[in-house]
Structure 1
């Protein structure tokens, strides 16, 4: 078994996941990223090969050049699945999840790691997830999803992430999801020294007020204003920790800054990086001005979480630890309605679909599930005197089609996409 494991990372951002995987023992053969500032950050902090541009553009990189890599990893765009957004899924031109899975068929890596927001775990995307699992099974991979909370790995914010891991069966038998490390870090404990760095005499009092895990940092997109800590609800949660979330400060509070009960301090870029899991020992420099730096950090996958998952993947690929029986290829069922339609050779009646669900589900519930599916798949409905039946059509998402509307969207809006 190889001990020097290599990774290709797509949508690498400012390197949160990349740094974690590096610390877990993976060597980057390539990192691909669209944002120019994030690419500059990666170049300034690493000696890796960086491909700058649209990850789905073969002129930027050719997945076929990396056949047999140990790990394909990435944090593809979150807005298509975010609860804070419209949850358009495959109808969102920024969606790259299905495209990334298709590259598994090209590259045939030993393992796949993709992470996204928890919205992808919702019922709205049950059919989408089912298609992903089924497609990976077609490629010969055992896949599993898990909702991972960053706070379980010493990060001072909740930051739940929905993580997909896929491996060939012989390696999947050795994969175990990482266990929480038992280290709970509060915002106050993480940042007290930084808050006191300019002589603020109330930093200790502030740390006592900030004695809890923080809400999820929101990096946002280029379409929305400057740097702040997120929407109204997020700002209110930060206020409960004595943090003013209406912006990001240029520096820590000075000696004459009043008590936090009178005026709450704002976070600085170094503080945000600390909350995202970058420790002082990493010496990671972020390119661009304050807003660009904050956006890179706020959109990142926390390095400690990526490292914990990366170590589990590495152990599996090296066949370390306890071997276990794995669930057979394609056996997981996230959406029985989708499975029934996908496996059928023709139309499926409404009555048959009803037998697949809990008897308490009404016809209205089934129709709601079909309506959710119709966002991501074409569904042909046939109504006759004997009743209504359905047939699953093609997937609407981008998987690499040359004529997909995503290409026009990228051409028109590239400067606003992050």
Structure 2
């Protein structure tokens, strides 16, 4: 049988890794920055090669050594695109999305899989997404983005993930996005056995009250304090289900707790809500806060399993081929990229079918956050010229290096 190998970057504690493993991929390498997450990977898969350190540091691993693998995959850092953050995108030292895409030129895998938060799907990053698609076309790949809901794959949580899949032309027509597989259980149904494991008499009544799926689990980062279950809105949703979201418990409630007690969740319970279960067994190492961050920042294994299986079927050229539609995310970017020299606002608006000058300025403003945009004014006329992409793609003189070293202890 043919072996399908994967190199996984920014592997975290193994959510995507376990899903890809279940799909049938064999890990040639997993690269991860966080020591605790690496320890968890080693504890669960002792035979895997784990490289610990900055994924962009050539002393940690050499992409060229893995040329020709079946799949290059990763869950690159989310904060640059998170709605809850500043959405600095290409200007965030944690942004490795563009760098990961650039590794396709070196590794030349049959397929690429990158996942991130929903924020990357928003208009703020239209130019960034367009650049990624265009760059993959230059490298000989056909790429698509899709927003998938974890709850469509049995995960009892509102957790949208924005996913990029790119394949070589021989395989791309055979890739079909996975269809929703099953409805999730409620939080109560998912956790009732764990909540009752300490012989708390209120477990059954609590489970009936916790009759919804969970809000998004937020792992957070080392820049913030201890573990809790997310922002104010999430805490209110947890409270309605009878859960105290201000921190985590070390153990489930016991007979000494009142029947109407609002328990905190344990790390084991949070892992269950993220999709780890008897079908996706995994052990987490480290202290409680570290374990929670590992769990909360992960790609749910059932979703990774579904996407990985779809990619594997494409690599085997199974099923009916389809016509892959090319999506255009930012026509302003595309027109400016193709222009020779400066383009006046009038010409640009005509080219992209815009009749609102204010809307053009807004789009240029968004574009200029991730690209250098030169602006020339002559009387009442304004002209634009698209410059360099600001993101880190491996440049030795990029500001990412100094910022990374400065904030190294707080990056997760």
Please, what TM-score do these two structures have when normalized by structure 2?
0.98
Cα distance in 2, alignment partners of residues 238 and 182 from structure 1: 23
CA gap of 1:349–1:188, structure 2 versus 1, over 3 A, is same
User: Does the alignment pair 1:43 with 2:42?
Assistant: yes
Partner of residue 278 from structure 2, selected from 256, 280, 292: 280
CA-to-aligned-CA distance 1:345-390 (integer Å, 9 cap, x gap): 111111122224455x521111011001111000000111361110
RMSD of aligned C-alpha atoms? 1.1
Cα distance in 2, alignment partners of residues 253 and 352 from structure 1: 67
Matched residue, 1:370:
364
SS in 2 for 1:51: strand
Cα distance in 2, alignment partners of residues 347 and 311 from structure 1: 46
Cα distance in 2, alignment partners of residues 283 and 277 from structure 1: 10
Deviation at residue 206 of structure 1 after TM alignment: 0.8
SS in 2 for 1:375: helix
Matched residue, 2:288:
290
CA contact (8 A) 2:200 2:259 kept: no
Deviation at residue 332 of structure 1 after TM alignment: 2.4
Number of residue pairs matched? Answer: 411
Partner of residue 350 from structure 1, selected from 339, 345, 352: 345
User: Does the alignment pair 1:406 with 2:404?
Assistant: no
CA-to-aligned-CA distance 1:384-403 (integer Å, 9 cap, x gap): 13611100000111000111
Which sits farther off after the overlay, 238-247 or 72-81? 238-247
Matched residue, 1:304:
302
Matched residue, 2:257:
257
Deviation at residue 43 of structure 1 after TM alignment: 0.5
Matched residue, 1:23:
22
Please, what TM-score do these two structures have when normalized by structure 1?
0.96
Q: Can you give the 5+ residue segments of structure 2 that lack an aligned partner in the other structure?
A: none
SS in 1 for 2:309: helix
Matches within 5 A, 1:69-80: 69-80=69-80
Matches within 5 A, 1:319-330: 319-327=317-325
Cα distance in 1, alignment partners of residues 206 and 360 from structure 2: 51
CA contact (8 A) 2:280 2:301 kept: no
SS in 2 for 1:125: helix
Deviation at residue 323 of structure 1 after TM alignment: 1.2
CA contact (8 A) 1:191 1:271 kept: yes
